[in-house]
Amino acid sequence: MKKSPSIRIRREALIPLLKDPDEGVRQAAAQALGQLDSAGSLEEVLDQLKKGKLGEKVQAIYALGRIGGEKVLGPLVYCAKRPEEDIKSAAIEVLGELAHPNALPVLIEKLQEPNTSLRAKAIAALGNYRDPAVAKHLVPFLDANDGLLETEAALALAKIGETAQEGKLIKLLRSPYSSTRQAAARALGELGVA
- Give the global pTM: 0.79
Domain-located, residue 19 = yes
Looking at the 3D structure of the chain, how many domains does it have?
1
Domain-located, residue 70 = no
Q: What is the mean pLDDT of each run of 10 residues along the chain (194 residues)?
A: 66 86 84 67 86 90 89 96 96 97 97 97 96 95 97 96 93 97 96 64
Task: Tell me how far apart the alpha carbons of residues 65 and 42 are, in angstroms, rounded to a whole number.
Answer: 11
pLDDT at 194: 47
Domain-located, residue 41 = yes
In our burial notation (b when 16+ CB lie closer than 10 A, e otherwise), range 100-118 reads beebbebbeebbebeeeeb
**Domain span including residue 2:** 1-51
